[in-house]
Structure 1
Amino acid sequence: MSAQIHFRYRHRRGEFELLVDSQVPGKGVTALFGRSGSGKTSLLRCLAGLERPDEAYLAIGDEVLHDSRSGHFVPPEERGFGYVFQEGALFPHLSVAANLAYGLKRTPAAQQRQALAPVVELLGLGPLMQQYPAQLSGGEKQRVAIGRALLSSPRTLLMDEPLAALDRQHKNEILPYLERLHREVALPVLYITHDPQEMTRIADHLLLLDSGRVIAQGPLDEVLARPELPLSRTEDAAVAVTATVIAQETEFDLTRLAFSGGELLVGRIDAPVTSQVRVQIHARDVSLALTPPAQSSILNILPARVVALESHDRGRMVVRLDLEGTAILARITRKSAAQLAVREGSQLFAQIKGVSLLA
């Protein structure tokens, strides 16, 4: 089992105070999510050793890297963390190949866990090797920055909003590389983002920050499905569901998926049967019924149990539903909740109007 990362910080700068005490998994991608000014970058810089908090404790498993009470402090260059900044921070006078070589040189040969060729192939850097940063697009620069960080053979990768400077088109170009990194490289990643779609596509675990405090943490699917959290109040409130492709309905350009709550029909996915995919279900695309409609244009109608309700503004409510072990959210009006007598424990049917592939 991978060693957990445990950190505890009190870090005051002016009017802002970071006050956290958390543990995150030592595997997969943990997203640090929150609005601007919530403390995400301050936390990452404390973890990297780039800032010295007033009070600090950081350990990976049994290895303590920082303990302010005893005065123990491992400097940044000895922590074994790879750091990817928002702007990539490449050396402008070096080619892509030389920037990558710099990452390799940071680690003695006997301790190198990443080789150049696999990283170049993983991130699609082959055609760029002789170019210089000024010749690269924003997305290409970030792929090189990620490659350089990987080649330093870090024990953990810290990524500070690596896609923040990119428009949606360029984000969509680089996200498949991040997903591939997630699948193929056994390396824990702490990933800052303020983009819900980005978070939902690549994260396994979520640390939700607000005003310097951790207000929720846990597996991504569990935290996204909590109706009392601020995430559920946004128009884009959604959950991520992992499902398996079980059939293609070629006549209608649909794909049939199976998950713990039953089956879903979605727009055609070009993936072989038995492959796993991650899909997104928005709260706004889920309505409720007491009985399954006899005739309906909605293809996905599944039995569900109400787990929790939360009143929001403008006469709306968010309902957490359990579909045989999978949690989803539905956004309905308070009037609809009253007419259907929706309460905790109610058995009803979730009508899922839209399911989108996270890819």
Structure 2
Amino acid sequence: MVAKASDSGKHIIEASFKLERVNETLESSFTLDVDFSIPAEGVTAVFGESGSGKTTLLRCIAGLEQADSARLTINGDIWQDKVTFKATHKRSIGYVFQEPSLFTHLTVMGNLSYAFKRANKALNNEFYKQIIKIMGLNTLLAQKVNQLSGGEKQRVAIARALLLKPKLLLMDEPLASLDGKRKLEILPYIEKLRASFGIPVLYVTHSIDEIARLADHVLILQKGRLVIQGNVSELFTNINVPLLSRDEMGTVLDCDILKIDEQWQLMKVAFNGGQLWLPVRLDILPDSQCRLRILASDISVTLRPQSDTSILNQLRVKIMSITPEIEEATTLLKVKTGATILLTRITNKSLSELGLVCGKIVWVQVKSVAILG
């Protein structure tokens, strides 16, 4: 369970849902049994395999599906408990589905105008302009929906949901219907959404990459039950997280952009524990922030700093834990620099030959080209 409001001083979303479905024809049943408290800010990813209950949970939160027993409060406002059940249209939510569900006979502007009529609060022109700008819709307003690409349609759907001024934005695998290229096109817009609005987002996905890039907090479901939750950085370095494969283990870092070296097309970033060089990203500006992901397999260990190496990034760290990977020739090390935990995978042979033990001070190397933006 994450920190309660009394612990952190921040608003929270508290939810508890128990629901059981029985399909007599198929002789099968499904049970949703979750209880959690999450920050009412940033993006909370809801992660799990198909059939784990992700969409069912969102439908319960939206009031589209009534659980056998439930409690839901948003910043202390009760939406559902033993005596209260707010209908969906009385819950201040925006809902973005896998498919955009736009009115195909209307223009982009026509679809957005529909949100004006349903908004719980009066819309001012500046708020409207902000959404249009952030979602990159200025040049699309006069176009018919059937003239848009899949990514453009989804941006319109997100803008329409935001124009409702919801207290909570629900996004159910919004990139699932897009190909790889379209996903890369829309991700920066969702990142801007996360940074520009104070609206908490519950984001359903089965993509580790989307979680690493967008989420602040994560709920992991398995067979209808919440098995683990926590801060995204903590979860990626937790070697016991279910559904996280060996190749996906690593570290997620939120960094400040310090400088851009135009000659070499590199940028220097700072995090709580050091600085890194990596290739310039086109959507990044100096004095801004970015999120990075470093896989455990892309960090090497040395006993002392190296001078004759092509690797630009070297960090002095302390070994915090050593965990052999059963049935593998490798070991996972948790190392710490500043307040940041990094995860690195090395061979058992290297572990032995370097004489690595908990508490030892060593250096790690990170290839600039291996850092994921």
TM-score if structure 1 supplies the norm length? Answer: 0.91
Q: How many residues align?
A: 356
Does residue 275 (structure 1) correspond to residue 288 (structure 2)? The answer is yes
Aligned 8 A contact 2:239 2:249 in 1: no
Specify whether residues 208 and 307 from structure 1 end up closer, same or farther in structure 2 by C-alpha distance, changes over 3 A only: farther
Deviation per CA, 1:231-290: give whole Å up to 9, x if none.
553313232212223344444433222222222122235655433222221111012223
Match of 2:32 among 14, 18, 26: 18
1:341 Cα deviation after fit: 4.1
Give distance in 2, aligned partners of 1:290 and 1:283. 18
Deviation per CA, 1:126-167: give whole Å up to 9, x if none.
222233322221101101111111111111100001001111
Task: Write the letter of the residue equivalent to 1:318.
Answer: L
Deviation per CA, 1:69-107: give whole Å up to 9, x if none.
x23211111110110000011122322222111111112
Task: Write the letter of the residue equivalent to 1:279.
Answer: L
Match of 2:337 among 306, 319, 323: 323
Specify whether residues 105 and 278 from structure 1 end up closer, same or farther in structure 2 by C-alpha distance, changes over 3 A only: same
Could you say what secondary structure the match of 1:90 adopts?
A: coil
Aligned 8 A contact 1:100 1:147 in 2: yes
Give distance in 2, aligned partners of 1:55 and 1:114. 41
Specify whether residues 2 and 135 from structure 1 end up closer, same or farther in structure 2 by C-alpha distance, changes over 3 A only: farther
Could you say what secondary structure the match of 1:72 adopts?
A: coil
Partner of 1:295: 308
Aligned 8 A contact 1:114 1:151 in 2: no
Segment of structure 1 superposing worse, 274-283 or 141-150? 274-283
Give distance in 2, aligned partners of 1:345 and 1:232. 27
Specify whether residues 74 and 276 from structure 1 end up closer, same or farther in structure 2 by C-alpha distance, changes over 3 A only: same
Match of 1:37 among 46, 51, 65: 51
1:66 Cα deviation after fit: 0.9
> What are the within-5 Å matches in structure 2 for residues 15-94 of structure 1?
15-67=29-81, 70-94=82-106
Specify whether residues 290 and 109 from structure 1 end up closer, same or farther in structure 2 by C-alpha distance, changes over 3 A only: closer
Partner of 2:167: 155
1:178 Cα deviation after fit: 0.8
Segment of structure 1 superposing worse, 45-54 or 285-294? 285-294
Does residue 98 (structure 1) correspond to residue 106 (structure 2)? The answer is no
> What are the within-5 Å matches in structure 2 for residues 174-193 of structure 1?
174-193=186-205
Task: Write the letter of the residue equivalent to 1:265.
Answer: W
Partner of 2:274: 262
Does residue 131 (structure 1) correspond to residue 131 (structure 2)? The answer is no
Aligned 8 A contact 1:114 1:153 in 2: no
Deviation per CA, 1:17-49: give whole Å up to 9, x if none.
222111111111111122222221111111111
For structure 1, list consecutive stretches of 5 or more residues without a partner in the other structure.
none
Task: Write the letter of the residue equivalent to 1:161.
Answer: E
Could you say what secondary structure the match of 1:328 adopts?
A: strand
Segment of structure 1 superposing worse, 163-172 or 341-350? 341-350
Give distance in 2, aligned partners of 1:249 and 1:107. 46
Aligned 8 A contact 1:227 1:309 in 2: no
Segment of structure 1 superposing worse, 262-271 or 109-118? 109-118
Percent of aligned pairs sharing the same letter: 40
Give distance in 2, aligned partners of 1:5 and 1:198. 22
Partner of 1:219: 231
Give distance in 2, aligned partners of 1:2 and 1:17. 31
Give distance in 1, aligned partners of 2:240 and 2:257. 32
1:334 Cα deviation after fit: 3.1
Give distance in 1, aligned partners of 2:257 and 2:181. 27
Could you say what secondary structure the match of 1:183 adopts?
A: helix
Match of 1:209 among 201, 212, 221: 221
* Cα RMSD, aligned residues only: 2.3
Could you say what secondary structure the match of 1:74 adopts?
A: coil
Could you say what secondary structure the match of 1:32 adopts?
A: strand
Task: Write the letter of the residue equivalent to 2:14.
Answer: H
Segment of structure 1 superposing worse, 334-343 or 300-309? 334-343
Specify whether residues 128 and 22 from structure 1 end up closer, same or farther in structure 2 by C-alpha distance, changes over 3 A only: same
Task: Write the letter of the residue equivalent to 2:180.
Answer: R
Task: Write the letter of the residue equivalent to 1:345.
Answer: G
Task: Write the letter of the residue equivalent to 2:299.
Answer: V
TM-score if structure 2 supplies the norm length? Answer: 0.88
1:111 Cα deviation after fit: 7.3
Specify whether residues 73 and 343 from structure 1 end up closer, same or farther in structure 2 by C-alpha distance, changes over 3 A only: farther
